[in-house]
Amino acid sequence: MKLSFSTLGCPRWNFGEVVSISKDLGFDGVEIRGLGSEMFAPRIAEFSAENREKTMKRLRDIGLEIPILTSGAAIADINREKAQAAFVEACAYINLANALGVPYIRVMGTGQPQKSEGDFELGAKLYAALCEYGELFNVTPLAETNGNLSSSDEMLKFLDAAGAKNCGVLWDIHHTVVFGEEKPGYTASKLGSLIKHVHIKDSKVTDGVITYCMMGHGDIPVIDSINELKKLNYTGFISLEWVKRWKPDLQEPGIVFAHYKSYMDRNM
């Protein structure tokens, strides 16, 4: 298994800082979810047509990968116009992923971590179309276990309704535990080889309020999850999703990323 972190956790870093700190801490990759003030990856300067070759060579030269481009596309939004706009966004991410040689993009159901109303019939149709489109470019759209899809059973129903071959799951361990109320063993047994990328973060929940913690200081069964991934012979990335962009009061990324790398190296 390989380690990365999402740029969601370092919203004030520029690309040079992201790359340098990733290398210094010994990470295998960087997951792209915005950079600085720009959340839409196709508009990030380093990924423009004139810069992307130089950018990817820089990463290759120091042994860093981009395992996934993490879009904000919520294709089962209850608002059909927003869902259609999310489809267009996801297509743009597929185009960029192809240009960068990145194998996956992330899409969501409703975009809410907790269960909420959505149009999952439309979402499944849009997901099927994304999978077909992505297949043309050797890119697989991964449906994240968030919201209603944090239930493994609901995720399998969604994928079955889509009926797409070029599909997969981004297992957000925090979501399946907190919102799906599943143990890691159950999720792993249900989703199995569909799991292509993993998000992880730790937290404590008190009276329904989530407090995010550095890895190993919360109640999320992180080590159990790692062991379940080992049973699946999972060799992909486990990516820390430190949500500092949404919660600026969280601990600074340099400290958190270094702790995460050390913790995971001891327990993988």
CB 197, CB 5: distance < 8 Å: no
Q: From CA 226, how far away is CA 211, in angstroms rounded?
A: 22
Rounded-to-integer distance, Cα 33 and Cα 27, Å: 17
The mean per-residue pLDDT over the stretch 65-91 comes to 97
Q: What's the confidence (pLDDT) of residue 112?
A: 85
As a whole number of angstroms, the distance between CA 168 and CA 193 comes to 8
Strand partners, 200: 240
Q: What is the domain-level CATH number for residue 65?
A: 3.20.20.150
Strand segments (E) across 75-228: 104-108, 140-144, 168-172, 195-200, 202-206, 209-213
Q: How many domains does the chain have?
A: 1
Q: Which two tokens stand for residue 138?
A: 């050797």
- Whether 29 shows a pLDDT value over 90: the answer reads yes
- What per-residue confidence (pLDDT) applies to 61? 95
Residues with Cβ < 8 Å from 228, sequence gap 6 or more? 184, 185, 187, 188
- Residue 118 · residue 160 · CB < 8 Å: no
Taking only the tens place, the pLDDT of each residue in 156-201 is 999 999 999 999 999 999 999 999 999 999 999 999 999 999 999 9
Other C-beta atoms closer than 10 Å to the C-beta of 45 total 14
The domain of 164 spans 2-267
Query: Distance (Å, rounded) from C-alpha 169 to C-alpha 164?
Result: 12
How confident is the model over 210-263, as pLDDT tens digits?
999 999 999 999 999 999 999 999 999 999 999 999 999 999 999 999 999 999
For the segment 23-28, the average pLDDT, to the nearest whole number, is 97
